A and B are shown apart, each in its own frame.
Chain A
Amino acid sequence: MAILIDQTKRVIIQGITGREGQARAKLMLGYGTNVVGGCTPGKGGQEVLGVPVFDAVADAMQHSREHCGGDVDISVVLVPARFVKGAAIEAIEAGVKLLLLVPDRVPVWDAMEIAAAAKHHGASFVGPNTLGIISPGKAVVGMIGGRAESAKAWFKPGNVGVISRSGGMSSSTAYYLGQAGIGTSTICHVGGDSVLGLRFPDVALMFQNDPETDAIVLFGEIGGSMEEDLAQLMQEKKVTKPVVAYIGGKAATEGTRFSHAGAIIEGNRGTHAGKVKALRDAGATVVESFGDLPEATQRVLATKN
């Protein structure tokens, strides 16, 4: 099993005819993702890499129901940042239950409006500013891996779930685990923004319920409260699978944003020390150096078995 994405999920790409849309469609199709359609207003009737293009998500939904065996499960949104809100709400209203918002620089009030719409319609979203999700050997959404052959070479199927606030570091974490002989069930980059759809606790609960995931590896960062919220779930015994974590930004200073919109220490909130302590108090293994993650994960898995 895996979480969020596998080869059975029907996927559409909003913005498929754009530069990004075409490049990511190539990766997803090449890896084995079931891409059933794409959307670009005004480009309905065209094809991209053999994938039919529709003017609206509702049309893609109808096509999926009639020809692909059911509803569109996931929409990957690859439109410029300022159009993300409109595209996302269109997909939510058309009945898509999971969205992947890839673009960076989506305004936070737009993200909150998307969250309100998702809540109202019982949908979820990942991102904004996510590189994507991959279940090795099954399927990928977004752009994680960059090229299908790289994604196949870098990520090994296995029993560890990876959750990261950084796109590059989700690849990196899974790659180094793989080099140490540890495969991954699903790698999920939740995004780097301050308002996100799925957060660490949400994804951790999914891994908790996935029979094929035995441990969770986390790449956390300064800022926000996702790591602390996950620690709270561990304290409440809602997440009982072992958690191994690295938290980036030990050298960060207060009041400066470190690239990611969500990576900022405000006053005494969101500090590296606070996150490490919360996780350790909840029973997680927190490593000091990123390079120590694979070995720590091996130890945790050995203890568990």
Chain B
Amino acid sequence: MARLHEYQAKALLSRGGITVPRGNPADSPEVAAKVASDLGCPVVVKIQAWTTGRAALGGVGFADTPEEAAALAQKMLDMKVGQFPVEQVLIEEQMPPKRELFVSLTIDGKNRQPMLLISTAGGSGVEDRAGQVATVPCDVHTGPDRDTITTFLARTDLGKDVQNRITDTLAQVFDVAKTVEATSLEINPLAVMDDGSIVALDCRCTIDDYAVFRHPELGIEIARELDHPPTKLERIAYTVEQDDHRGTFFFAQMATTAKPGSKGLAGFHGAGGGGSMMSMDAITNEGFTIANFTDTSGNPSAAKVYRAARIILSQPDLCGYFGSGSGVASQEQFWSAYGLAKAFLELDITIPVVVRLGGNAEDRAVDILHAAAKSLRVPVEGYKKTDPPAKIAQRFASLVAENDATIWTPRKPRVPEFVESNHAMSFPITGGMVWIDTNAWPASKDAIMQHSSGLFKDDNGTPALTIEAEDFKSKDSECVMCEVECRNAGVDGFFVQLDVLGL
């Protein structure tokens, strides 16, 4: 997650020369008590959650003894904020402000540069108070425009020294944001103390997902902007995306139960950001609740699409599997079809599938899916660019209605008996293993050699690679293609084992 907690953001401010209260996070009452006694009471205890208005939620409290801090921490660690369970609290020295200001740095898409917002009315509820606000354009290289700041501050009743300190602080805020490539950094309140010093009493910071790779020091586990802490499946999906850079894979869970009055909980698999959103709207308009938002696009590998389907089908209670993207994709669509077909066959899917694979090579893509459907117990229908999403959403609704309210129970994929037996040969690929049944080889070799893009040959009655084992490792998609083509042709004895770490 590319959002930082308050204590993490404050550590960045501190390194950037901005004063913050002394403090430490705690994830248990015992640690809270220790932090409080080390700091010396009184202290303030605050939930660490990605939300505004924590005071109103009971997420901010004051303690005069370590015992009180522990009790407060216990109460707060039992809280839930929206979908966020509170996992940590921050315990800090109390620093009563004389004056509260508000400062935020955001990215101004309209002017394509960073922008600072400063308001002389800080504190809780600042979002509701307009006026007394200045927007300060920032040069991406040199930082905030000092004239704008000076002019604004001169109109306030703040002393000259304080004005100068604030001006310096704003430059430091910019530097911190630039150093960690933040997309937003908000200090509310930025406090003026009795002695005229400036202290950041709170801080919220979001790092650019696309720049997280340059900042290992931040220890961001999952660079995804979600409205909840990452779920187990989201973490698994994120790992898949990190391990395979062919195309993009985005997965976010939206709901675990169908909304009241809804036609059911649909597994959703989009392709392309805009196409996925448009298709999400189409299936929602048709009266379904989507369990997840998924997007595999940018010419993803068959293996990646397979893993995406496996993750989608790890969600219980789905009434069907709905896939649709832009419908006029520039990339070849058959790789996605192979990945989907493998997942549906392996899991012997029991809920209807409607997938729109429109775009380049759509005929081949739909044929692959329909051939796989012949050995499945439920309808699996592929559509092309000629079929608009609203129409296929209606078709999906009919198929779900005909499926007698069957809902999906996740299960393990079927693995052929020859896998890991003494009559199988194995060939390592990235993230998995290819298995060939040596007993079946005489009957299966022609099909395997035909469908494996020339990767396999017959070597005196046993299967062998035509290329170096090291080069073969990257041929996972070709092997998925071979497996699906062999299965569709009724040929057994070739299987691609693809790991989905954590499933």
Contact = CB atoms under 8 A, between A and B. Distances in A.
B274 A166 contact: yes
A263 to B, nearest CB: 6
Contacts of B209: 257, 261
Contacts of B141: 113, 116
Contacts of B388: 176, 290-291
A197 B109 CA distance: 9
B281 A81 contact: no
B390 interface: yes
Contacts of A262: 109
B359 A169 contact: no
B252 interface: yes
A144 B331 CA distance: 9
B452 interface: no
B225 A250 contact: no
A162 interface: no
Nearest to A268: B127
A255 B225 contact: yes
A249 interface: yes
A289 B227 CA distance: 26
A146 B359 contact: yes
A64 interface: no
Interface in B246-283: 248, 250, 252, 254, 270-278, 280-282
Interface residues of B, number: 63
A31 interface: no
A257 B224 contact: yes
Nearest to A118: B112
B325 A249 contact: no
Given A104-B248, A109-B140, A172-B385, A219 B274 contact: yes
A252 interface: yes
A267 interface: yes
Interface string A155-192: 00000000011111101100110010000000000001
B332 interface: yes
Interface stretch (A54-62, A65-73, A221-229, A278-286): A221-229
A105 B298 CA distance: 12
Given A146-B330, A168-B274, A168-B329, 12 more contacts: A81-B210, A115-B112, A116-B112, A116-B113, A143-B330, A144-B330, A166-B274, A176-B388, A194-B183, A197-B112, A249-B281, A252-B277
18 contacts: A81-B210, A104-B248, A105-B210, A166-B273, A168-B274, A168-B359, A171-B329, A194-B109, A225-B109, A226-B109, A248-B278, A257-B226, A258-B250, A258-B273, A258-B293, A259-B273, A267-B127, A290-B282
Rank and list the top 9 A-B pairs by shortest CB-CB distance, nearest first.
Answer: A166-B274, A168-B326, A259-B273, A146-B330, A168-B272, A255-B227, A115-B112, A248-B277, A169-B274
Interface of B: 107, 109-110, 112-114, 127, 139-141, 178, 181, 183, 208-211, 213-214, 224-227, 248, 250, 252, 254, 270-278, 280-282, 284-285, 290, 293, 295, 297-298, 325-332, 358-360, 385-386, 388-391
